[in-house]
């Protein structure tokens, strides 16, 4: 009876907490509506735009002083010091400013995570252990308040990534401006996300590896059966969305992004990828410096998921993670730096790279690690990552190097759209600056 009473009390407390959280969410929504107006997505570029007089950091060649960059229909059409402008071009004078490609957050839950304490705003994990057919962009919330805040920090592309289970699903590169998920999707199916099993429990570890191998074997059998059916060599084989989603992976068109941090996990994942004949990217990579030679020899890139954090083991030096990018660079490993996954803190991405500079990483390499390198690793370099003719006009105008703390991002363009820069953080700044000004005047 005592046990039943405790369970009932716990259930009532849980229910009450849920109700309170929902009420708070509603109140917060009302407060936000009155204090911070929602940002309106920018219209699609309607005419040619030229930014002139600034320093253009193309990240693909020499820096262009006092240059001009011209873009039409969201695409860069000319860059240089002597650019011929078509009739009707809107001129923007950016003399004294710097123009860079937009930053890329290579691992994020942007658009699928809003408030951690309110379950209805979190859509990161799917039910079940094997979900290769999950297309994360379908759950992307274009109304997320975090989008504008990240965009104002220069993050113009977010690789939104599902989580949970053994095979989480497909990540997607999302543009940080637009009205709906389909309009904001730069590229679907950027990578198949796998959470490599933890190795602390040997029996469980072996069991999950077998489950992973079984999933790939089933997908390969399905692919062969469908091909035979299409060639007329076999009877009809039913469509299965799970295994259909894995065909681009098995054919080498799409990488497998493996979330692995420990030495054993990384080594086993590389061995497994070779056996399955699939391309692999290591996500996390806390111990990657310990197997750096192996990663370099196998040409396996790493997406470091955080720099601004404490060591994972109490015997490691305080700067162990801070200096990890420099160690990988010295070892010749290709790597990108991501922003720690949390949508609410995505705007800190430039400072993750900046911290790495303070602990030995060359500044130009750090800048590339949040710009050109993630584009190359994830196969997005035909669209973004550098400023070149034919690529998307996804760029930012700044007062200096974007990974330096003092730099201000003054304006961004997402595929030619001139985005609203008055995000929630800036709105609240203006509000409370007015409060200070009013009190100063009354003294």
- What's the N-to-C CA distance of the chain in angstroms? 66
Residue-wise burial string across 48-85, b where 16 or more C-beta atoms lie within 10 A, e elsewhere: bbbbbebbbbbbeeeebeebbbbbbebebbbbeeeeee
Domain range 103-386, CATH class = alpha beta
Residue-wise burial string across 99-138, b where 16 or more C-beta atoms lie within 10 A, e elsewhere: bbbbbbbbbbbbbbbbeeeeeeeebbebeeebbbbbbbbe
Confidence (pTM): 0.90
Backbone angles phi, psi at 149, to 5 degrees: -65, -45
Domain assignments of the chain as residue spans, ordered by start: 103-386
For residues 293 and 377, what is the distance between their CA atoms, to the nearest angstrom? 18
Strands 409-414 and 395-398: antiparallel
Segments of the chain with pLDDT less than 50: 1-35
For residues 363 and 358, what is the distance between their CA atoms, to the nearest angstrom? 9
283 contacts: CB under 8 Å, gap ≥ 6: 107, 193, 257, 258, 259, 260, 302, 303, 305
Question: So what's the pLDDT on residue 388?
Answer: 98
On average, the pLDDT of the chain sits at 91
Rounded percentage of the chain residues whose pLDDT exceeds 90 = 80
- In which element (H, E) is residue 75 found? strand 75-80
Question: So what's the pLDDT on residue 71?
Answer: 98
Which residues are bridge partners to 93 per DSSP?
A: 52
CB-CB contact of 337 with 356 (8 Å): yes
Question: So what's the pLDDT on residue 12?
Answer: 44
Look-up of token digits 């009205």:
179
- Closest-CA residue to 216 (of 153, 289, 280): 280
* Tens-digit pLDDT profile for residues 181-229: 999 999 999 999 999 999 788 889 999 999 999 999 999 999 999 999 9
Question: So what's the pLDDT on residue 116?
Answer: 87
């Amino acid at each position: 009876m005592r046990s039943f009473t405790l369970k009932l009390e716990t259930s009532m407390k849980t229910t009450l907490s849920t109700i309170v959280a929902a009420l708070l969410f509603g109140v917060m929504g009302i407060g936000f509506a009155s204090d911070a107006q929602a940002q309106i997505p920018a219209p699609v570029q309607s005419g040619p735009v030229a930014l002139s007089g600034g320093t253009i950091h193309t990240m693909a060649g020499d820096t262009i002083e006092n240059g001009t960059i011209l873009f039409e229909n969201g695409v860069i059409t000319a860059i240089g010091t002597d650019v011929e402008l078509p009739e009707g071009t809107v001129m923007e004078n950016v003399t004294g400013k710097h123009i860079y490609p937009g930053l890329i957050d290579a691992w994020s839950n942007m658009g699928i995570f809003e408030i951690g304490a309110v379950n209805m705003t979190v859509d990161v994990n799917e039910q079940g252990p094997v979900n290769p057919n999950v297309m994360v962009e379908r759950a992307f919330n274009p109304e997320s308040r975090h989008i504008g805040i990240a965009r104002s920090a220069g993050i113009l592309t977010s690789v939104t990534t599902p989580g949970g289970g053994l095979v989480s699903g497909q990540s997607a590169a999302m543009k940080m401006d637009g009205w709906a998920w389909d309009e904001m999707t730069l590229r679907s199916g950027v990578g198949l996300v796998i959470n490599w099993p933890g190795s602390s429990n040997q029996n469980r570890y072996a069991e999950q590896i077998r489950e992973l191998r079984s999933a790939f074997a089933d997908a390969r059998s399905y692919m062969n059966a469908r091909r035979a059916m299409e060639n007329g060599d076999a009877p009809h084989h039913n469509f299965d969305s799970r295994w259909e989603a894995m065909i681009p992976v098995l054919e080498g068109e799409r990488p497998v992004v493996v979330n692995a941090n420990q030495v054993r996990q990384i080594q086993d994942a590389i061995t497994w990828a070779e056996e399955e004949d699939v391309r692999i990217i290591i996500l996390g990579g806390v111990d990657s410096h310990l197997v750096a030679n192996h990663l370099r020899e196998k040409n396996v890139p790493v997406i470091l998921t955080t720099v601004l954090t404490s060591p994972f083991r109490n015997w490691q030096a305080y700067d162990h993670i801070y200096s990890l990018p420099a160690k990988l660079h010295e070892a010749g490993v290709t790597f990108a730096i991501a922003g720690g996954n949390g949508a609410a803190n995505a705007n800190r991405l430039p400072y993750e790279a900046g911290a790495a500079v303070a602990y030995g990483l060359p500044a130009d390499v750090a800048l590339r690690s949040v710009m050109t390198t993630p584009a190359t690793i994830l196969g997005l370099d035909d669209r973004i990552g550098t400023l070149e003719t034919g690529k998307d006009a996804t760029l930012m105008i700044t007062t200096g190097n974007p990974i330096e703390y003092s730099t201000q991002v003054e304006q961004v363009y997402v595929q030619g759209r001139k985005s609203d820069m008055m995000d929630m953080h800036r709105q609240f700044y203006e509000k409370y600056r007015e409060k200070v000004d009013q009190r100063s005047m009354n003294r």
